[in-house]
Amino acid sequence: MSVDAVAGPLGADSEVGVLRTVMLHRPGDELRRLTPRNNDQLLFDGLPWVDRAQDEHDAFADLLRGRGVTVLLLGELLTEAMTVSGAARMQGISAAVDARRLGRSLAEDLAQHLRGVPAAELAQILMAGMTFDELLEAETGDPQPSGASLVRRMHHGGDFVIDPLPNLLFTRDSSFWIDDRVAITSLALPARVRETSLTDLIYAFHPMFRGVRRAYESRTAPVEGGDVLLLAPGVVAVGVGERTTPAGAEALARSLFEDDLAHSVLVVPIAQERASMHLDTVCTMVDTDAVVMYPAIQDTLSAFTIHREDAGVTIRGGDPFLEAAADAMGIGKLRLIDTGLDHVTAEREQWDDGNNTLAIAPGVVVAYERNVETNARLEASGIEVLRISGSELGSGRGGPRCMSCPVSRERL
């Protein structure tokens, strides 16, 4: 992949500017690790049929390419970064070898083994993880493992020495762009924490991203990309619930103000539950001045607005979200596309990510085909809906927005 593979200047200042380049992750062997015993912990609601999930994902990527979007794949970027940079390899290995869990002896054996593995294979291991048995089998060419690891003896061969990362599929959460900078997030749950070591490595070492500056560098508290909506240039909404914490939202706001990336941050409380794990599961932008939203929260969604002032910040609390947003965006009204659904249909389609649309231009969105009613209402309001199937992809509870990280959008 060459440096000029990115179409358009890096970065984005909105949710809806014409999409030029996007980072996706084609689901791979990390999904084959899911079992009925570990799927809850790994944040999947079922066991996807992996081949079909890959087909669905390929169709998603092809649809985007057909609309002129350059698609970057996380797995390829990871391999390329570790091919050109030894430091990238070291960083990936050190994030994957958890000495606290493995003990010193096994940690040393594992790190030694990984240092000898070629970049493409190492990328696979970092994404799909590794079991005790796989390590033992792979070590045959290495100098003999020390044999002094109690941890090795006491673990089952099918246990993981490196945990798999099935949620890499949701590239939205582990990094996001704002203006011409990239923010590596800080993921809240143990199953996902290591994902950011991979996005960090890609943006630090892949030649395509040389010289790119960072936002939210302190990463002091949890912020996940699914909670961050670029409502308009300078105006950012941040959901606070199961993932992003109040401290995360506060730290992000402060950092965006300091870097002059925003003047207003709307902090939006959402229910702390699985169905609404991120703000983008209940609300996404479909046009420069329009959102689609889960009907059950339309009347109650509110926001604290943090404004940057000359002398510091002001915080206004408890305003209805749509009004606070329109105010900060400097528009008369933020249109709500009312899906008008009865509460059972609305609840079912929210669960299946009907509100999780990816805009590829103002008024043009990608959505799961299964959310028939939501899509019909979007179209009735003049939004063009490009449908993809997600019967298998959806088992991780994420739709087109969750599965995409816009790397370049035309500025509004």
Residues with catalytic annotation?
Answer: 402
Q: Which is nearer to ligand ARG, 210 or 274 (CB)?
A: 274
Q: Which is nearer to ligand ARG, 43 or 378 (CB)?
A: 43
Contact 249, 224 (CB under 8 A): no
**Buried/exposed code over 196-227 (b: 16+ C-beta within 10 A; e: otherwise):** bbbbbbbbbbbebbeebebbbeebebbbbbbb
The Cα 297–Cα 306 span in angstroms is: 22
Contact 131, 6 (CB under 8 A): no
Position closest to ligand ARG via CB:
226
Q: Which is nearer to ligand ARG, 110 or 223 (CB)?
A: 223
Residues in the site for ligand ARG, rule: CB under 6 A? Answer: 43, 167, 170, 172-173, 192, 226, 277-278, 280-281, 396-398, 402
Q: Which is nearer to ligand ARG, 97 or 183 (CB)?
A: 183
* Among candidate residues 247, 275, 281, 253, the one with its CA nearest the CA of residue 266: 253
Q: Which is nearer to ligand ARG, 281 or 302 (CB)?
A: 281
Contact 31, 53 (CB under 8 A): yes
**Buried/exposed code over 342-375 (b: 16+ C-beta within 10 A; e: otherwise):** eeebbeebbbbbbbbbbbbbbbbbbbbebbebbb
Q: Considering the complex, what minimum distance in angstroms separates the CB of residue 379 from ligand ARG? A: 23
What does the DSSP 8-state code read for residue 188? -
Give Cα separations from 222 to 85, 187, 242, 252 (angstroms): 29, 6, 10, 9
Q: Considering the complex, what minimum distance in angstroms separates the CB of residue 199 from ligand ARG? A: 14
Q: Considering the complex, what minimum distance in angstroms separates the CB of residue 390 from ligand ARG? A: 12
Q: Which is nearer to ligand ARG, 45 or 258 (CB)?
A: 45
Largest CA distance in the chain: 70
Q: Which two tokens stand for residue 36?
A: 């009925």
Contact 130, 162 (CB under 8 A): yes
Q: Considering the complex, what minimum distance in angstroms separates the CB of residue 346 from ligand ARG? A: 17
Residues 45, 49, 51, 56: is their CA dihedral positive or negative? negative
Contact 266, 304 (CB under 8 A): yes
Q: Which two tokens stand for residue 108?
A: 């040393």
Q: Which is nearer to ligand ARG, 44 or 257 (CB)?
A: 44
Q: Considering the complex, what minimum distance in angstroms separates the CB of residue 396 from ligand ARG? A: 4
Q: Considering the complex, what minimum distance in angstroms separates the CB of residue 294 from ligand ARG? A: 13
Q: Considering the complex, what minimum distance in angstroms separates the CB of residue 45 from ligand ARG? A: 8
The Cα 60–Cα 37 span in angstroms is: 29
Rg (the chain; Cα; Å):
21
Q: Considering the complex, what minimum distance in angstroms separates the CB of residue 29 from ligand ARG? A: 17
Q: Which is nearer to ligand ARG, 219 or 243 (CB)?
A: 243
237 φ, ψ (degrees, to nearest 5): -105, 140
